[in-house]
Chains A and B, each alone.
Chain A
Amino acid sequence: MKRKAFLIIGVTAAFAAMATAQTTAKTIIPDDVVFDEYGAVAMSLTGVAGDAANGRKLFANRKLGNCLACHVNSEITEQAFHGEVGPSLDGVADRWNEAELRGILTNSKNTFEGSIMPSFYRTSGFTRPLEKFEGKSILAAQDVEDILAYIRTLTE
Chain B
Amino acid sequence: MIKPNLQRVASIVTVAALTFSLNAAVASDLVINEEISLTNETAAPAHLENLTTIYSGWNFRKSETQSLQMDDFDNPGMIFVDQAIDQWNVVEGEAGKSCAACHTGGVEEFAGLRAVLPRYDEEAGGIQSMEDYINECRTDRMQADAWKWSESKMTAMTALIGLQSRGMPVNVAIDGDAAEAWELGKEIYYQPVGQLDMACASCHEDNYNTYIRADFLSQGQTNGFPAYRLKNAKLNSIHARFKGCMKNIRATPYKEGSDEFRALELYVASRGNGLSVEGTSVRN
A residues sitting closer than 8 Å to B (CB atoms) are 62, 66, 68-72, 74, 77, 80-88, 90, 95-96, 116, 118-119, 126-131, 133, 136, 138
- Tell whether, in the assembled complex, residue A116 and residue B202 are in contact, meaning their CB atoms are under 8 Å apart: yes
- Tell whether, in the assembled complex, residue B252 and residue A84 are in contact, meaning their CB atoms are under 8 Å apart: no
Partner of B11, one of A87, A96, A136: A87
Q: How far is the CA of A69 from the CA of B248 in the complex (A)?
A: 13
- Chain A residues contacting B15 (CB-CB under 8 Å) are 72, 82, 84
On chain B, the number of residues with a Cβ less than 8 Å from chain A's Cβ atoms is 34
- Chain A residues contacting B207 (CB-CB under 8 Å) are 85, 116
Partner of B212, one of A83, A87, A90, A138: A83
16 contacts between A and B (CB under 8 A): A70-B212, A72-B18, A77-B18, A80-B18, A84-B211, A87-B4, A87-B7, A95-B2, A128-B193, A128-B194, A129-B193, A129-B194, A130-B195, A130-B250, A131-B252, A136-B195
- Chain B residues contacting A83 (CB-CB under 8 Å) are 210-213
Q: How far is the CA of A138 from the CA of B14 in the complex (A)?
A: 28
- Tell whether, in the assembled complex, residue B202 and residue A84 are in contact, meaning their CB atoms are under 8 Å apart: no
- Tell whether, in the assembled complex, residue A82 and residue B19 are in contact, meaning their CB atoms are under 8 Å apart: yes
In the assembled complex, B12 has its CB within 8 A of some CB on chain A? yes
Knowing A116-B198, A130-B194 touch, does A80 contact B19 (C-beta < 8 A)?
yes
- Tell whether, in the assembled complex, residue A72 and residue B212 are in contact, meaning their CB atoms are under 8 Å apart: no
| Residues 1 to 60 of chain B near chain A (Cβ within 8 Å) | 1-2, 4, 7-8, 10-12, 14-15, 18-19
Which residue of B4, B11, B250 has the most chain A CB atoms within 10 A of its CB atom? B11
Q: Nearest 9 A-B pairs (CB), nearest first?
A: A87-B7, A81-B214, A88-B11, A69-B213, A133-B195, A72-B11, A128-B252, A118-B196, A116-B202
